[in-house]
Chains A and B, each alone.
Chain A
Amino acid sequence: MRVFVCGYGNPFRTDDGAGHHLAPLLAGFLESCGQDVELRLEHQLLPEMAEEFAAFDLLLFADARVPGTAHGDGFLLEEIDPDPVLEGLNIHSVGPEWVLALAAQIGGKAPPALLLSVEGESFDFGEIPTPSCALRIREAAEAFKRWFRQKYPRSGCSNGAQTGI
């Protein structure tokens, strides 16, 4: 399975860089059980990324989330669909749904996609996530492992497989 893993956000603004810390954990897990992974760490999602999606079987997006918006869980794991209207409020908050919609239009294909978003606590200057956000990043990675094993039981990523997490 070819998997595109993209962590995005500003790694110089503390928890806004949560995606940068989470995405390598996801990629490490998938690679450890034989998946073909392309890992990207970006400042923001951009339109040209849409051109590349058709080459993948699964897209994973990892981002920060504003506090208090994850229904008490600290992170959200959502299967997402193309949606051009929910394009976000500006180019820096263009969501993966928006890029998926563009991909569907220009390439005719938008692969299955998952958004993992972790609540931040501080968005001030700094390169290290706050301890509470770091904990949520690890929890989100574990939740993804469970989701992936359930969704793709024949992927080779069973409980006994080596993982990078």
Chain B
Amino acid sequence: MENKKNTIVINPITRIEGHGKITVDLTDDGAVDNVRFHVTQYRGFEVFSKGRDFREMPVITPRICGICPVSHHLASAKACDAILGVTPPAPAAKLREVMHMGQFIQSHALSFFHLSSPDLLFGFDADPAVRNVAGLAKEYPELAVAGIGMRKFGQEVIKTLGGKKVHPWHSIPGGVNRSLRAEEKDAMLAGLPAHKENLRKALSLVKNYLAENAELAARFATLETSYLGLVKDGNLELYDGRIRLRSPRGRITDEFDDKDYCANIGEHVEEWSYLKFPFYRPLGFPHGSYRVGPLGRLNACEDIPTPEASAELAAFRKTTEDGIVHYTLYYHYARLIEILYAMERLEELLLDPDVLKSDLHITGEVSNREGIGVVEAPRGTLIHHYEVDENGVIERVNLIVATGHNNYAMNRGVEQVARDYITGPDVKEGALNRMEHVIRCYDPCLSCSTHAVGKMPLLLEIRNSKGELVRTVTKE
């Protein structure tokens, strides 16, 4: 039987951080045959870091990304701590966490307010001329200004400690290079109440949207998967905890130390994507696939250790009978709950006298030839693993980036939506936007290495089984 197909290619995806492409293969009768989410840019950090002194890594690796450099900075510093065999003093760990909370606030705010909220507020089928951030600013000016303010606040926290909003330098192997001054702490504390109030309004908006669109939310790219995230005493933890995997039915499948990630997490490779597919080894691929990020963390943990976010989590879990929320659109809701947690945790840290202390650093020599650092990045669990020689020169680097963990789920989610909304090559703009929105739910950071004027607009290509171009659609 002739296996004749048409192929739709959407490349690249709008409003996500990085370079990706969606390919939809159609059968002769126009039905969706196969869908793939490709990551087409190769970072190369694991290769070119070889031969560098490990102490440089907390400065080098943040260049992977302009949106979540702090996550790479911290995971790298933790891996370096492990090579030195030291535990940073308590003030240093708390100051790292202060910066981490700033990172969560700014990154999550960007994802929700600027990238995703236009789709929710205007609808997937709205005119693209309206369904954008300027449209948001026109119709919902308070929300747009609140989003900008929240991002700015998070970035100021990062800049205060790290000198720069993007690619800061604060964590060093064994600790940090500066503490907070009292006036800096006070300025951060003074800003929190207004941003918290704006966040409550955004939460209310999202909850109303999900309630009014319950049927869509329950169906849109929904997947019953396992969930992975860091926990401390079973509760949500973003900086330093054990890795927990919870099954789709809510059972805790496993919980292990970050240094044991190799024994538990494998990486599947597909020839059509640079992004690997991590999976839980005991279950194999694809059965051991899981989701990370806001939805993953909220499903993996027992509770959130701050009062207001804990109460919000309780409300979130009422969505389903067993409290496990598989709905992909709920990533947005989970993301806002995490901003609330980050604000509450930041307040706790700033009220802790340790953040003003000068006990910031423990020096040491190479005492371990291997170091593993794991943090929760806004997009999910981030793993840095270095091997060094006796002088501390990097011999091997393995990075499992947060976005990779969700690779399988993003592929499956896009496929589901494609099957729901595509029949034949005449694909409507709203269908394309729905497929993109699946990806936006996960807020992936594929690579922000380069950008330049003159990139191709969103392109849809339809090809037959011989690779001949049948039709090209440019998204205007």
Residues of chain B with a CB closer than 8 A to A48's CB: 148, 151-152, 155
Which residue in chain B gives the minimum CB-CB distance to A124?
B44
- Contacting residues of chain A (53-97) with chain B, CB-CB under 8 angstroms: 63-66, 69-70, 76, 82, 84-85, 87-93, 95
Stretch at the interface among A7-15, A135-143, A148-156: A7-15
Across the interface, do A105 and B138 meet the contact criterion of CB distance under 8 Å? Answer: yes
Q: How far is the CB of A74 from chain B (nearest CB, A)?
A: 13
Task: Please report the C-alpha to C-alpha distance between residue A51 and residue B146 in the assembled complex, in whole angstroms.
Answer: 12
Across the interface, do B137 and A90 meet the contact criterion of CB distance under 8 Å? Answer: no
Which residue in chain B gives the minimum CB-CB distance to A63?
B453
Which residue in chain A gives the minimum CB-CB distance to B60?
A12
Across the interface, do A84 and B166 meet the contact criterion of CB distance under 8 Å? Answer: no
Residues of chain B with a CB closer than 8 A to A36's CB: none
Across the interface, do B137 and A102 meet the contact criterion of CB distance under 8 Å? Answer: yes
Task: Please report the C-alpha to C-alpha distance between residue A98 and residue B118 in the assembled complex, in whole angstroms.
Answer: 14
Which residue in chain B gives the minimum CB-CB distance to A86?
B457
The verdict on A144 contacting chain B, using a C-beta distance below 8 Å, is no
The verdict on B66 contacting chain A, using a C-beta distance below 8 Å, is yes
Instruction: Kindly identify which residue among B18, B133, B449 contacts A13, using a CB–CB cutoff of 8 Å.
Output: B449
Task: Please report the C-alpha to C-alpha distance between residue A85 and residue B132 in the assembled complex, in whole angstroms.
Answer: 7
Task: Please report the C-alpha to C-alpha distance between residue A95 and residue B134 in the assembled complex, in whole angstroms.
Answer: 13
Q: How far is the CB of B113 from chain A (nearest CB, A)?
A: 8
Which residue in chain A gives the minimum CB-CB distance to B141?
A106
Which residue in chain B gives the minimum CB-CB distance to A76?
B453
The verdict on B450 contacting chain A, using a C-beta distance below 8 Å, is yes
Residues of chain A with a CB closer than 8 A to B38's CB: none
Across the interface, do B147 and A47 meet the contact criterion of CB distance under 8 Å? Answer: yes
Task: Please report the C-alpha to C-alpha distance between residue A151 and residue B453 in the assembled complex, in whole angstroms.
Answer: 24
Residues of chain B with a CB closer than 8 A to A91's CB: 15-17, 67, 110, 114-115, 448
- B-side interface size class: 35 or more
Task: Please report the C-alpha to C-alpha distance between residue A42 and residue B129 in the assembled complex, in whole angstroms.
Answer: 27
The verdict on B329 contacting chain A, using a C-beta distance below 8 Å, is no
Across the interface, do B145 and A106 meet the contact criterion of CB distance under 8 Å? Answer: yes
Instruction: Kindly identify which residue among B15, B48, B66 contacts A125, using a CB–CB cutoff of 8 Å.
Output: B48
Residues of chain B with a CB closer than 8 A to A82's CB: 134
The verdict on A50 contacting chain B, using a C-beta distance below 8 Å, is yes
Residues of chain A with a CB closer than 8 A to B19's CB: 90
The verdict on A43 contacting chain B, using a C-beta distance below 8 Å, is yes
Across the interface, do B15 and A90 meet the contact criterion of CB distance under 8 Å? Answer: yes
- Residue interface bits A20-64, CB-to-B below 8 A is 1, else 0: 000000000000000000000011101110110000000000011
Instruction: Kindly identify which residue among B18, B48, B135, B141 contacts A92, using a CB–CB cutoff of 8 Å.
Output: B18
Residues of chain B with a CB closer than 8 A to A76's CB: 453
Q: How far is the CB of A10 from chain B (nearest CB, A)?
A: 6
Q: Given A43-B167, A47-B114, are A105 and B137 neighbors across the interface (CB < 8 Å)?
A: yes
The verdict on B174 contacting chain A, using a C-beta distance below 8 Å, is no
Q: How far is the CB of A140 from chain B (nearest CB, A)?
A: 12
Task: Please report the C-alpha to C-alpha distance between residue A145 and residue B66 in the assembled complex, in whole angstroms.
Answer: 31
Across the interface, do A90 and B13 meet the contact criterion of CB distance under 8 Å? Answer: yes
Task: Count A interface residues, CB 8 Å.
Answer: 42
- Contacting residues of chain A (116-142) with chain B, CB-CB under 8 angstroms: 117, 120, 123, 125
- Contacting residues of chain B (8-22) with chain A, CB-CB under 8 angstroms: 12-19
Q: How far is the CB of A101 from chain B (nearest CB, A)?
A: 4
Which residue in chain A gives the minimum CB-CB distance to B44?
A125
Task: Please report the C-alpha to C-alpha distance between residue A18 and residue B436 in the assembled complex, in whole angstroms.
Answer: 30
Task: Please report the C-alpha to C-alpha distance between residue A64 and residue B19 in the assembled complex, in whole angstroms.
Answer: 17
Instruction: Kindly identify which residue among B14, B128, B133 contacts A102, using a CB–CB cutoff of 8 Å.
Output: B133
Which residue in chain B gives the minimum CB-CB distance to A61?
B453
The verdict on A115 contacting chain B, using a C-beta distance below 8 Å, is yes
Residues of chain B with a CB closer than 8 A to A117's CB: 452-454
Q: Given A90-B15, A105-B137, are A44 and B48 neighbors across the interface (CB < 8 Å)?
A: no
Task: Please report the C-alpha to C-alpha distance between residue A64 and residue B452 in the assembled complex, in whole angstroms.
Answer: 5
Residues of chain B with a CB closer than 8 A to A10's CB: 63, 66, 448-451
Q: How far is the CB of A50 from chain B (nearest CB, A)?
A: 7
The verdict on B476 contacting chain A, using a C-beta distance below 8 Å, is yes
Residues of chain A with a CB closer than 8 A to B66's CB: 10, 43-44, 92
Which residue in chain A gives the minimum CB-CB distance to B69?
A43
Q: Given A47-B110, A85-B132, are A106 and B137 neighbors across the interface (CB < 8 Å)?
A: yes
Residues of chain A with a CB closer than 8 A to B155's CB: 48
Residues of chain B with a CB closer than 8 A to A92's CB: 17-18, 66-67, 448, 451
Q: How far is the CB of B119 from chain A (nearest CB, A)?
A: 13
Q: How far is the CB of B303 from chain A (nearest CB, A)?
A: 32
Across the interface, do A84 and B455 meet the contact criterion of CB distance under 8 Å? Answer: no
Closest 10 CB pairs of A and B: A84-B134, A105-B137, A69-B454, A43-B66, A66-B454, A64-B452, A93-B451, A101-B134, A117-B453, A16-B450
B residues contacting A by CB (< 8 A) are 12-19, 44, 48, 63, 66-67, 110, 114-115, 128-129, 132-135, 137-138, 141, 144-145, 147-148, 151-152, 155, 166-167, 448-458, 476
- Contacts beyond the supplied A16-B452, A50-B148: 10 A-B pairs with Cβ under 8 Å: A10-B448, A47-B133, A47-B147, A87-B133, A89-B13, A89-B458, A95-B453, A102-B133, A120-B452, A123-B449
Q: List 16 A-B contacts (CB under 8 A).
A: A9-B450, A42-B166, A43-B66, A48-B148, A63-B452, A69-B453, A84-B132, A85-B129, A89-B458, A91-B15, A91-B17, A91-B114, A93-B451, A102-B134, A105-B138, A106-B141
A residues contacting B by CB (< 8 A) are 9-10, 12-13, 16, 42-44, 46-48, 50-51, 63-66, 69-70, 76, 82, 84-85, 87-93, 95, 98, 101-102, 104-106, 115, 117, 120, 123, 125
